[in-house]
Amino acid sequence: MGAYEAFYRRSIEEPDAFWAEEAKRIYWHKAPEVICDYSRPPFVKWFKGGETNLCYNAVDRHAAERPNDTALITVSTETNEEKRYTFAELQREVERMAAIYLSLGVRKGDRVLIYMPMIPEAAFAMLAAVRIGAIHSVVFGGFASASLATRIDDAQPKIMVTADAGMRNGKAVPYKHLVDEACALAKTPPEKVVIVDRGLDKGFPRIEGRDLDYATLRAQHLDASVPVAWVESTHPSYILYTSGTTGKPKGVQRDTGGYAVALAASMDYIFCGKAGETMFATSDIGWVVGHSYIIYGPLLAGMATILYEGTPLRPDPGIWWRMVEQYRVTVMFSAPTAIRVLKKQDPKYLKCADLSSLKHLFLAGEPLDETTHRWIHEALGKPVIDNYWQTETGWPMLAICRGIEEKPIKYGSPGFPVYGYNLKIFREDGTECGPNEKGIVGVLPPLPPGCLSSVWGDEARFISSYFSLFKEPLVYSSADWGIKDEAGYHFILGRTDDVINVAGHRLGTREIEEAVQSHTAIAEVAVVGVHDEVKGQLPVAFAVVKDPTLVETTQARQKLEAEVKQKVDELLGAIARPHRVYFVSGLPKTRSGKMLRRSIQALAEGRDTGDLTTIEDRSALDQIAEALKTQ
């Protein structure tokens, strides 16, 4: 048995002893009484009775031991700004933000909604919330007002922290009007909105009595000293919304102690990051990678972390690699989409910088194809490690744990089940698949530390969303297809449900369908994810119009397609905009009325539509095939 197999087996067979040892990686104000309380399946409480604080472990303990070491580096190639903060400086800024929260009535258990670009204040806002025992909910700064409003109503935040604008490709992206629209739409808007004025949106509207200027408040609390609030290990640290198949986003609820332990261990065993080194994750704080491996993971490990506002192409495709050289990055984390974008650029940019500090590049967020994996590995001459996980799990489920054993990398594979995850490939009848047999990726509970503890405010949805696939055995369903080869390497083959993956961002097709159908001309619509070489998948809509005369000419179809895309932009944001909208007179359904989305997707991708014995009207598929050729 190899070193990793023995390590993994112990985590599954002796979980209490295994995780009790890992728990020593963080500071406990009060030691846990029970390592794993699994008395109410599928709910699990890790390190029950223990008291700790996520901000203390990420910031304060390092500030005490090595105050002058760099903690946070914020870089914007949009505004050409760079700021560095030592652990001591980061602690001061977090305490100032925490003092602002307290002055506005935020208390332990209250929610703080953060709708921010990638600027230092976003990190302060997150860390300050967990410092005082508040629960943050970060919403990606690209989401439209309607999406923001649904998250406001679900989380019911006491306050919101935002900015006047973000920047993208040299252009300001105003936020404040979206915030105002969302607050107007929401049933439970926040009492106060704290605004970081970057000077990018001159004259943005201010609402008297509600809107407050961050710089003014900060000046009032420059000398603030805010002690950490020690919280139960099971106390929620944050809510992060992920797209569901019902159209209503799910609030993934994360605990405190289990998350801290899981991330601290992962920084050592998976990412091989050491205190004093630098990590660069190219994600956004609005996504789970931003939470786990821009903010919390690197800081827990005592590393400097880079918060980056910009694209991989601006000012040129060599920017990321020059940053690796400049900041002596040892651990880099990105997404396959970004690598496929870089693959289309002049290869000289991959040789424009000294990458000697870089130990390895990690990629996650969507399936990594073998061709892209091989190309970037050979181009960089560095280990490129695929890893697979979800918003729900918070840290990798499949990876090669090089901190334990340097197993060979297999192109296109995220590797092996990570310690703590009793992960298997299941047939749809609940039995385990054999080698090279396609099945559903699942985990036998209890889920390890760091995974979601529930769906915010909806325990029934937690069970129905994740533990209802099989009655026996009880299994956490990833809703992803996968296979395992004879050597134990796993491969992810895509979703089993109606969630699509666009450049690493999960989007529910139901959400997009509802947005398309809100256009008054649309009677019915089906949205599917269609394979794309760069982004993984693109949403494509097939719509039935109420009045066929609206799409009689090419010009008329183009006009209506533009209007429908604009409607989706307004309701969900540009990230969810359909790549194309095709107009048809009917959609294929089964005799029981179920939409045959997989058949539509197969047609759009030029594949065989498979078994159509249940279809009610074959001509509907013929119309889609014709639309794909002619429109």
The pLDDT tens digits for 480-517 are: 889 999 999 999 887 776 778 787 777 778 778 878 98
For the chain, what is the mean pLDDT?
A: 92
Distance between CA atoms of residues 36 and 496, nearest Å: 31
Sorted by where each begins, the domain ranges of the chain are 87-229, 502-630
Contact assessment for residue 120 and residue 129, using Cβ atoms and an 8 Å cutoff: no
3-state secondary structure of 273: coil
Q: Please compute the mean of the pLDDT values over residues 408-437 and round it to a whole number.
A: 95
Q: How confident is the model at residue 401 (pLDDT cuts 50, 70, 90)?
A: very high
Q: How confident is the model at residue 592 (pLDDT cuts 50, 70, 90)?
A: very low
As a whole-number percent, the residues of the chain with pLDDT over 70 amount to 97
Distance between CA atoms of residues 271 and 436, nearest Å: 28
Beta-carbon contacts of residue 173 (< 8 Å; ≥ 6 apart): 117, 141, 142, 165, 166, 167
Q: Please compute the mean of the pLDDT values over residues 74-90 and round it to a whole number.
A: 97
Higher pLDDT, 494 or 428: 428
Q: How confident is the model at residue 246 (pLDDT cuts 50, 70, 90)?
A: low
The DSSP result for 392-413, as a single string, is TTSS-SEE--TTT--PPP-TT-
**pTM of structure:** 0.85
Lowest pLDDT segment from 232-236, 330-334, 482-486, 591-595: 591-595
* Cβ burial, residue 222 (10 Å; 0-12/13-18/19+): exposed
3-state secondary structure of 462: helix
Helices H, strands E: what count in the chain? Answer: 20, 32
pLDDT tops 60 at residue 593: no
Contact assessment for residue 19 and residue 36, using Cβ atoms and an 8 Å cutoff: yes
Lowest pLDDT segment from 189-203, 317-331, 603-617: 603-617
Q: Return the CATH architecture of domain 87-229.
A: 3-Layer(aba) Sandwich (3.40)
Lowest pLDDT segment from 68-77, 221-230, 467-476: 467-476
pLDDT tops 70 at residue 579: yes
Q: What tens digit of pLDDT does each residue of 18-31 get?
A: 999 999 999 999 99
Distance between CA atoms of residues 60 and 55, nearest Å: 7
The DSSP result for 304-365, as a single string, is EEEEEES-TTSS-TTHHHHHHHHTTEEEEEE-HHHHHHHHTS-GGGGGSS--TT--EEEE-S
Do the bridges between strand 476-484 and strand 192-196 make them parallel or antiparallel, or are there none, so unpaired? unpaired
As a whole-number percent, the residues of the chain with pLDDT over 90 amount to 74
pLDDT tops 90 at residue 14: yes
- State the fold for domain 502-630: GMP Synthetase; Chain A, domain 3 (3.30.300)
Higher pLDDT, 233 or 547: 233
Query: What local confidence, expressed as pLDDT, does residue 442 receive?
Result: 97
Nearest to 418 by CA among 400, 436, 434, 432: 400
Q: Please compute the mean of the pLDDT values over residues 80-90 and round it to a whole number.
A: 97
Q: What tens digit of pLDDT does each residue of 595-626 get?
A: 788 789 888 888 877 656 456 667 888 889 88
Query: What local confidence, expressed as pLDDT, does residue 602 receive?
Result: 87
Count of C-beta atoms within a 10 Å radius of residue 615:
17
β-partners of residue 240 are 252
Q: Please compute the mean of the pLDDT values over residues 135-155 and round it to a whole number.
A: 92
Q: Please compute the mean of the pLDDT values over residues 165-193 and round it to a whole number.
A: 95
Query: What local confidence, expressed as pLDDT, does residue 166 receive?
Result: 95
Contact assessment for residue 299 and residue 247, using Cβ atoms and an 8 Å cutoff: no
Q: Which DSSP symbol is given to 432?
A: B
Higher pLDDT, 566 or 341: 566
Q: What tens digit of pLDDT does each residue of 267-307 get?
A: 999 999 999 999 999 999 999 999 999 999 999 999 999 99
Q: Which DSSP symbol is given to 227?
A: P
Query: What local confidence, expressed as pLDDT, does residue 535 receive?
Result: 84
